[in-house]
Amino acid sequence: LSESRSVADRVTLGVKGMTCGSCVQSIEGRIGALPGVFHIQVSLEQSNATVTFDHTRQSPESLAEAIEDVGFECSLTNATSAPVQTETKVFSTAGCSTDSIQQARCVLAQTEGVLETQESADHRGLAVTSVPSLVSVERLVDVMSCLVPDAHEGPSSRSSSGVEAVKMRIEGMVCLSCTTTIEGKIGKLKGIEKIKVSLESQEAAVLYLPCVITVDKIVNQIEVAGFKAIVKSKPRQLKLSASEVERLLSAHKQEEKVSEPCTDSSITTVFQVTGMHCKSCVVNIQDNISKLPGVSSVVVSLENRQATIQHNPKQASVVELQKAIEALPPGDFKAILPASPEPGFLQPLVSVAEIHIEGMTCGSCVQSIEGMISQKKGVRSALVSLASHQGTFEYDPLVTTTEELRAAVEDMGFDAFLPETNSLVPSVVKSPLPSVRSLSLSPVWSAVKENEAESDAEPATNTISKCFIQIGGMTCASCVANIERNLKNEHGVHSVLVALMAGKAEVRYSPSIIDPQRIAEFIRELGFTAAVMEDCDGSDGTLELVVRGMTCASCVHKIESNLMKQKGILYASVALATNKAHIRYDPEVTGPRDVIRWIENLGFTASLVKKDRPGSHLDHSREIRQWKRSFLISLFFCVPVMGMMIYMIIVDHQIDTSHHHNATAEDREKYHSTMFLEKQLLPGLSIMNLISFLFCVPVQFIGGRYFYGQAYKAVKHRTANMDVLIVLATTIAFTYSVVILLVAMVEGAKVNPITFFDTPPMLFVFISLGRWLEQIAKSKTSEALSKLMSLQATEATVVTLNDDMSVLSEEQVDVELVQRGDVVKVVPGGKFPVDGRVIEGHSMADESLITGEAMPVTKKPGSTVIAGSINQNGSLLIKATHVGTDTTLSQIVKLVEEAQTSKAPIQQFADKISGYFVPFIVGVSFLTLVAWILIGFVNFPLVEKYFPGYDKSISEAEAVIRFAFQASITVLCIACPCSLGLATPTAVMVGTGVGAQNGILIKGGEPLEMAHKIQSVVFDKTGTITYGAPKVVQVKMLAEGNRMSRSKLLAIVGTAENNSEHPLGAAITKYCKQELATESLGTCTDFQAVPGCGIRCLVSNTEHLLKRDDSDSEENQCNAVLIQISDTSSDHPLIMDPQLLSESVVQTSSFTVLIGNREWMRRNALQVRAEVDEAMTEHEKRGHTAVLVAVDNELCAMVAIADTVKPEAELAVHTLTAMGLEVVLMTGDNSKTARAIAAQVGIRKVFAEVLPSHKVAKVEQLQLEGKRVAMVGDGVNDSPALAMADVGIAIGMGTDVAIEAADVVLIRNDLLDVVGSIDLSKKTVKRIRINFVFALIYNLVGIPIAAGVFMPVGLVLQPWMGSAAMAASSVSVVLSSLLLKCYTKPSAEKLERRLGEVRRHGSLSEVSVHIGMGELRRPSPKLSLLDRFVNYS
């Protein structure tokens, strides 16, 4: 029966101010809960809300007001309410109990689209009023099926009522307690009649009422309990009689009598919760929300950032729960409402998709993929294997597709590839080679195409913007993956590219949904520092091209207009006069190669402007050539002038000797006038002065032009440097000489004036020689950098691929033309031109030049490659991810450059001195001039006495002035701040260079200088003192040898643990493989792992692993076979059926294996004997982890595993202690392990159970005690502490090392390098001090001599002697620094000898342990039975 009438209206209201899905959810939640509102649908894109409501209880105005109360603007313009067609159907209830009718009414009340339910007029049925557009008749019939299966058939089919059965496969059950957990939890659910779970068959059979609970709900609840459920059989209706149904329902009713039937149905809501950082946040939410009325269970997952809440919607609505979560302290949580689920349960078609997934690193990746994909609409089950990089997904092909699933996995930050075929049945042969859809989209970066496809689906208003975010605290590739994966999951973020070395992320996002500050906030929530970079100009690619073939302005216009039409070109400007084009482009969309191709298609030729290769500034050859040329020019013109000067000195000496040292002025004058050089060409101008002048001019203005340029720049910036001094000295000498010569010529003097034309050439000769040698020295110190630079490849082979991954074309291009997203082919022996990801091929890569890792690294699809590393044995296709200056190599070079140019504090002090020094010297020089002029005029005989070569032929005044000038110019010449300036940088450059050669990368002068002041060295434990990877230290056999040989046990255990992701499992497998000398193991099936307990599995096919010489194991097998025959053969034990024999072998070689702790053995009904327990306790005292192995329910072995100490750790610690340093161990591990390790290496002070965030506080605490602290860590969780310490020393390998927060990086993973770095620091600082002594001695001794202070003792300097001394000081400082090149790192043998017999193992009682942040000292250990299972930090 049905009739139509209208009691409901529908209205569409405009809503402004919504930004994201959570706004939609909050409006729908709040308005949907109002009385009289039947249905609401909010659209974010169209900014409106469509509401179906009862016009007797609500109006458009009241609804608009309610929306505004939620915090949004609501407009009523064009909002007219229209009546909605409703329908009333009558369902017969004849023969039904009142309970079942009540139950049906309860379910109907919660069904969307049902307006009211009441008894029909004749009291023989239920009248249900509904909106047909919101709820279908089929759905109503389905709901009413627990009353009448077919609403139109009446009570005749009553017998096949309501209860259905479903069979499920349950994964993850390991013991009987699991079955009781599932039965207990699911049995309590409303609508579940009966449940039986079998551990053996791993199945569950459930009887349920489909009108009360759906199969999906049951599956979800089983998953909440921690197991995985897969529906096996399609639910079939049970043929139950009416009386049986009645009995079941009444029994159900009695159980639930406590609460009202209509209010006790609970629903499960999954919230996405952001802002959780650690386990305490999880506990906070779980504890507080579970206390709310109507909430029956709360499960919070930190990994998936989800809260699954089971609650009664009548007592606690979804919106109330959301508010409750967000109100919890500290107020940082954000709960995002779930999308409303589709009503009804459809039994879907099931297809299976196999997806190859790359980029997973651990179990949490697996969980997050399974969790996220299984929530996707239409997905029935998700099963991901970390070992095989494979995901198997069961899905409904009508609801979703394999491509959508692949895209969903990629959105989570992993690389996902579909195999060649995908059918409804999982394909047997899995193609190892992933087919990459996007590769056919060459040459433009394929990801952009995907982004475009995404954005096309969105409205045109939703533009995509790009921002750059500076990220600190990233230490390795997994940090990058973590950021990329989490950011991609944020609503509104389209793509993320993180550059580890540059420490920045490029994010493309929708500004209408999210802003850069919010993105930075997300990154900070992940535990990194993040700041939005304001100037994003560097983000756009810039390109300068030479364009040939342009003839007129129309060519220019043609190129510009065509380029601007192309996608990704932001700016294009072409100059006809210079034939150059300046282009700015978006590197994500296009690149230089495309631009050149577009220009060439227009009929012109284009090529890149050849810029200096990166690192050209490290090539000192230009400067070397320049100073060499300057020196040779000065020398060429200086030699004749010096020759004439020497000749004059010799002549004077001869006159003196011939007149027995009492020659008169007249004798000299007579002698001089007869000399050719002294002959006057013009009055006052002698041949000698003319020649000197002519030779001096080119030196002054050609040889010295660099000095003039530098001095001008310095004066312009109001600073005074060495060049200013040199220019002052030479210019004054030259000008004085020219002026005095001109005066003599004007006066027509008979006597030739004494000039200083010999000073500039000599000064320039010595100074350019000094600079030339200095540049040669500098070029030696930057060899390390040049070496790094030379690693860069110059060309790349870019390939275009077909859909089936076959190569369509190849072209050789300059490495600068490689674009992001290009597919590059690298042949064996070739260098990787750019950073990228392997998409096809297998090979090994030699990354030793970049990471210091001597072993070749395996490269397979999905692996990342580093530019500059060498491909060894296989051809690879890689997809470029970072090009140009973004490559790892470019960033390392930049880092090393910055390190070499960063100034040590001592050098800043030297620069300060130089700043004051020049004005001081000019002052001293001027004082010297004035002082000697005064002395000369007051007491001329004094000048006459001490003035060497005083010529009586010149006037007294001239003699005094000449002498004063000579003294003051000598002061200017000898005072050299150069050597002061060179003292530190040369030593730092040589020191860092030598460090790099020895595997110690020192980032700059400051850490190099600081390291020798260190008083306290703090070591991290895991990965620093120890290897950081567990190793098997003992295998103790517990079974008799004739029952289980050692090799057989190892084969079984190795096979069992081969599937385990736990580090302990990996260690056991590695040990077994080494002992058995094999890489392949047996077959492991039914593998189950229980966190905190152990594993259980079935092992077979291990025979081929047993060593042939292991005779007892062979014998053992034979016995087993014979016994088996005698048991099975019915006729006679010796009649052997071959079929039977082979079967029996198979049977005997299958073992049930249990590996785990004592608790695991107890759970599986195995007794651990007292002596075994004792042996385990003994290991645990030493910080080892002991696990037990049981095969076929018999305890067979105990395996002890420990994180082993590096062999050199003890020597390093003792050496540091012998140097007088305090050595501290700091670890997040438990105190017992920490104490054992500390005693082993000789450390006395331990901070145990310290969280990464507390490590910083510990370092600070030591610093507050007035100590200089060095922190040595492996850089992952230690980076904050490394940055806080006075010197952070990072240990480890790989590119992550290079950008560590540390100041010093030890490439070789050798702890003795810590000693080496401190030793090198001491040597370098000592060298810097020696350099300062050299520099200062020249100045302190030379200046007074030059100023004439020591004239009474006959010490007089000519200006040229001053410049020679100055050059010598610079050269001696550089040579002194270069002596550091002879430094050798102290070897282990040398340190052993030096320590002699001092070393001894510390006992446990000598170690003081401090726990966490507490300062209380722990007494010596009471060696009790502690943690059974150690979690490796």
pLDDT of 1027 higher than 70? yes
- Distance from C-alpha of 1387 to C-alpha of 729, rounded to nearest angstrom: 51
CA gap 918, 923 in Å, rounded: 9
The predicted structure's pLDDT at residue 911: 60
pLDDT > 70? residue 588: yes
Specify the pLDDT at position 526: 79
* pLDDT(461) > 60: no
Identify the pLDDT of residue 1294: 38
Tell me what pLDDT residue 986 has. Answer: 75
Identity at 675, one-letter amino acid code? M
- What integer pLDDT is reported at residue 826 of this predicted model? 93
Q: Which pLDDT does position 908 carry in this prediction?
A: 60
- Over residues 1169-1181, the pLDDT tens digits come to 888 999 988 888 7
Q: C-alpha 254: how far from its chain's center?
A: 60
Spatial separation of the C-alpha atoms in residues 685 and 744, rounded to whole Å:
8
Chain mean pLDDT for the chain: 75
Amino acid code (one letter) for 427: S
- Give the C-alpha separation, 235 to 924, whole Å: 105
Q: How many CB atoms lie within 10 A of CB 441?
A: 16
Q: Tens of pLDDT along 873-904?
A: 788 999 998 887 778 777 666 655 554 444 45
Q: How far apart are CA 1412 and CA 1227, in angstroms?
A: 9
State the Cα–Cα distance between residues 61 and 67, nearest whole angstrom: 10
Cα separation, 1362 vs 1347, whole angstroms: 11
pLDDT of residue 880: 92
pLDDT band for position 426 (cuts 50, 70, 90) = very low
CA dist 492 and 464 (Å) reads 9
Alpha-carbon distance of 1072 to 1067, in angstroms, equals 9
Rounded Cα distance, 559 and 426, in Å: 54
Residue 1191 has pLDDT above 80, yes or no: yes
Are the beta carbons of 435 and 805 closer than 8 angstroms?
Answer: yes
Q: Tell me the mean pLDDT in the region 1011-1040.
A: 84
The whole-angstrom separation of Cα 287 and Cα 248 is 36
Instruction: Describe the crossing of helices 956-974 and 1312-1346 by its angle, rounded to 10 degrees.
Output: 180
Q: Rounded to whole angstroms, how far apart are CA atoms 168 and 215?
A: 10
Which parts of 843-904 are beta strand (E)? 843-846, 857-859, 864-865, 870-871, 876-882
Phi, psi (rounded to 5 degrees) for 1066: -60, -40
Give the span between the Cα atoms of 638 and 762, in whole angstroms.
6
Query: What H or E segment, with its residue span, contains residue 647?
Result: helix 621-658
Residues 400 and 416: their CA atoms lie apart, in Å, by: 17
CA distance 1348 to 968: 9
Dihedral sign from CA coordinates of 217, 220, 224, 227: positive
Give the whole-number percent of the chain exceeding pLDDT 70.
Answer: 75
1193-1216 mean pLDDT: 89
The predicted model gives 1158-1165 an average pLDDT of: 87
pLDDT at residue 870, as a whole number: 86
- Count the Cβ atoms, other than its own, within 10 Å of residue 887: 27
For 143-182, write each residue's pLDDT tens digit: 776 554 433 333 333 333 567 888 888 888 877 767 877 8
pLDDT, residue 454, reads: 39
What's this model's pTM, rounded to 2 decimal places?
A: 0.43
Secondary structure letter of residue 566 according to DSSP? S
- Nearest residue to 832 via CA among 841, 845, 820, 819: 845
SS3 label, residue 608? strand
- When mean pLDDT is compared across 76-90, 91-105, 442-456, 749-763, the lowest value belongs to 442-456
pLDDT at 260 over 80: no
H/E stretch holding 1188 reads: strand 1185-1191
pLDDT confidence of residue 160: 39
Mean pLDDT of 434-451: 36
Contact 217, 269 (CB under 8 A): no
Given strand 295-301, what is the order of strands in its sheet? 295-301, 306-311, 267-274, 334-336
Contacts of 997 (CB under 8 A, 6+ apart): 784
pLDDT at 671: 63
The residue written with tokens 């991609």 in the block is 488
Spatial distance between the Cα atoms of 1068 and 1095, rounded to a whole number of angstroms: 13
pLDDT in tens, 1075-1125: 888 888 888 888 888 766 789 999 988 877 775 434 444 444 433 333 333
Catalytic member of 594, 886, 1020, 1319: 1020
Starting at the edge strand found earlier in the chain, the sheet holding 823-826 runs 807-814, 795-801, 823-826, 876-882, 835-840, 864-865
Predicted confidence at residue 785, as pLDDT, reads: 55
pLDDT of 1202 over the 80 cut: yes
pLDDT digits (tens, 9 = 90+) for 496-553: 888 766 678 888 888 888 888 889 988 888 778 888 886 554 456 788 888 988 888 8
| Tokens coding 1179 | 């290991």
CB burial of 98-137 (b: ≥16 within 10 Å; e: otherwise) equals eebbebbbbbbeebebbbebeebeeeebbbbbbbbebbee
Q: What is the structure's pLDDT at 339?
A: 56
Whether 421 shows a pLDDT value over 60: the answer reads: no
List pLDDT tens digits, range 43-52. Answer: 888 888 888 8
Question: Taking 80 as the threshold, does the pLDDT of residue 1128 lie above it?
Answer: no
Q: Is-catalytic flag, 1020? A: yes
Q: Give pLDDT, residue 666.
A: 61
Beta-strand ranges (E) seen in 624-777 are 680-682, 685-686
Handedness of CA 1393, 1395, 1397, 1403 (dihedral sign): negative
Helices (H) and strands (E) in the chain, counts: 44, 54
1320/1324 Cα distance (integer angstroms): 6
Report the DSSP pairing between strands 1016-1020 and 1222-1226. Answer: parallel
Which of 177-186, 239-248, 619-628, 739-748 bottoms out in mean pLDDT, i.e. has the lowest? 239-248
- Predicted confidence at residue 1190, as pLDDT, reads 93
Q: What is the structure's pLDDT at 945?
A: 66
Output b/e per residue, 674-687; b: 16+ Cβ within 10 A: eeebbebeeebbbb
For 1248-1300, the three-class secondary structure string (H helix, E strand, C coil) is: ECCCHHHHHHHHHHHHHCCCCEEEEECCCCCHHHHHHCCEEEEECCCHHHHCC
- CA–CA gap between residue 907 and residue 71 (Å, rounded): 60
- Split at pLDDT 50, 70, 90, the class of 255 is very low
Q: In the predicted model, is pLDDT for residue 245 greater than 80?
A: no
pLDDT at residue 1407, as a whole number: 75
User: Which stretches does DSSP call E strand in 96-214?
Assistant: 114-119, 125-130, 164-171, 192-198, 203-208
> Is the alpha carbon torsion for 377, 382, 387, 390 positive or negative?
negative
